[in-house]
Chains A and B, each alone.
Chain A
Amino acid sequence: MKKSIVLGLLAFASVALAGIAVTRADPASSITLPPPNMMLKDGPNAALAQAKCVICHSADYIYIQPPLTKAQWTAEVTKMQKTYGAPIADADIPPLVDYLMSQNGKQS
């Protein structure tokens, strides 16, 4: 008796699941991504960096890089400004580089 009740419930569940499946769009075509890491760590000029650096990409883009020199970070920020069109004023570049050096810099 118990077995048939369980089977009945399973059958009901299958119908219910099938019902849900047809009311949704093709499950292959839709996903929901987990939230990205958008918070920069504290440091000099962190507010400016938070305002500029995560417009186009997550914070992890900074921390996965090998430690970079001041010249390399300057080149990266300049690339974001000139090549990728980030709204970074020329005057923002030195404080942004200072921030990046504090997070993941090396001397030479």
Chain B
Amino acid sequence: MPYLPGMRRREFLIGGTALGSAMLAGAPALAQTVTLPFANGTRPVAAYPQKRPLIVMTTRPVQLETPMSIFNEGAFTPNDAFFVLWHLAGVPTDIDVNAFRISVHGLVSTPLQVSVADLKSSYDAIEVAAVCECSGNSRGFFNPRVPGGQWGNGAMGNALWKGVRLRDILTKAGIATGAVQVRFNGVDQPVLPATPDFMKSLDMDLAMSDNVIIAYSMNGADLPVLNGYPVRLIVPGYFATYWVKMLNDVEVLSEPDQNFWMKTAYRIPADPCGCQQPGSTVKTIPINRLTVRSFITSVTDGARVRAGALTVSGIAFDSGYGIQSVLFSSDGGTHWTPATLGKDYGKYSFRPWQARFTPQAGRQYTLASLAMNTIGEAQRLDNPVWNPGGYLRNTVETVRVSAS
């Protein structure tokens, strides 16, 4: 997007270049690595603009993973630690927020050009705490392995999103009869014209539901550019593929969307498990709701802990039915005890939990947590979900510790 006036752009670019060079000169940040526990899992750790040092999966387009230790800082994931995923390398890095418009068009009676100022002044503001989880979160743990973004468990985050109900904007535009879906497109572009532009669609009833919002604020601040500044779609309970970043185009459709990112990509097996056998072919549907998951965040795999009473903390979440209970095990899942749930920030949020046990010196423990939601959906204890997209993992995760 053009920068105006020209002098400002020039000044900023000079400053930006100097900053970039300084970051490179400060090589220690780039020299650090972490190794995720699967083949080819070694990654640089580096601080990108508006971000603290994160796990760098790819550099163009940029994809950054949140280290698990961040999730122990609180139920909300700080903006500067929130994971980053772009599909296409044409990611704008200069956004003129005053010129930015969301075009609302298609099967509507009054097409709209909505500015960010309009969003803030002309519509009711809504806040929702919601987990944003990449469809491919934990893909690196699939066995057999599958191609794609090789994430550990950190392609997720929880934020307090503030914005405007999509429904209010669509209602203002006036939905014509025959509308079946709403399609969302962002400013990002493919490098080649032949590459399908990244667009996602929601069915009409979901698009018009209470909690789907166009957010201009994340944890009380502007969204980082890499998380979609100035606005992104928030679809609580649904995988992040629908949370279109730098959203500037909303189109009401009369037919189900046939674009590549809906019809071919981001598909899961149609059966309720989302499972299939390697090498088999099954009927598929677009990926949709989050699975139930929980993680231990206060200790890392391989950690040494002190003998004596220990509090283990973690997080749990589901697709919005709400977490009913979390069970904790210190013996790899043979025996379970109820964990204590922490503050409830809303049914789409991370739910903190804590459990206590007493490790004895010289012994090793395999810690595990198992969450269940209010409709009885639980994490899988064994027989992990497998599908060729590497989606929907929700196996009980374990953390091995030794006490001394």
Contacts and interface: CB of A to CB of B under 8 A. Distances in A.
Nearest to B18: A32
Interface in A22-69: 23-26, 28-38, 55-58, 60-61, 63-68
Contact of A67 (B11, B39, B43, B230): B39
B57 A57 contact: no
A67 B57 CA distance: 16
A61 B58 contact: yes
A96 to B, nearest CB: 15
B191 A55 contact: yes
B205 to A, nearest CB: 30
B192 A66 contact: no
Nearest to B38: A66
B115 to A, nearest CB: 14
A64 to B, nearest CB: 5
A60 B64 CA distance: 13
Interface residues of A, number: 35
Nearest to B151: A64
Nearest to A55: B191
Interface residues of B, number: 57
Contact of B3 (A25, A28, A36, A76): A25
A34 B11 contact: no
A38 B60 contact: yes
B182 to A, nearest CB: 25
Interface in B50-76: 50, 56-62
Given A56-B191, A57-B89, A66 B39 contact: yes
A26 B96 CA distance: 9
Contacts of B220: none
Given A57-B61, A60-B58, A76-B147, A29 B39 contact: no
Which of A32, A38, A57 has the most chain B CB atoms closer than 10 A to its own CB? A32
B150 A64 contact: yes
A4 interface: no
Contact of B11 (A23, A26, A72, A85): A23
A104 interface: yes
A60 B42 CA distance: 11
Nearest to B190: A56
Given A31-B225, A83-B264, A84-B194, A58 B60 contact: yes
Interface in A6-36: 23-26, 28-36
Interface of A: 23-26, 28-38, 55-58, 60-61, 63-68, 72, 76, 83-87, 104
28 contacts: A24-B11, A24-B12, A25-B3, A25-B12, A28-B222, A29-B94, A29-B96, A29-B97, A29-B230, A31-B50, A31-B226, A32-B17, A33-B49, A34-B46, A36-B60, A55-B191, A57-B61, A57-B89, A58-B59, A60-B57, A64-B43, A64-B58, A66-B146, A67-B40, A83-B264, A85-B193, A85-B194, A86-B194
- Ranked 9 nearest A-B pairs via Cβ: A85-B194, A36-B60, A32-B16, A31-B49, A66-B145, A36-B59, A58-B60, A28-B222, A29-B95
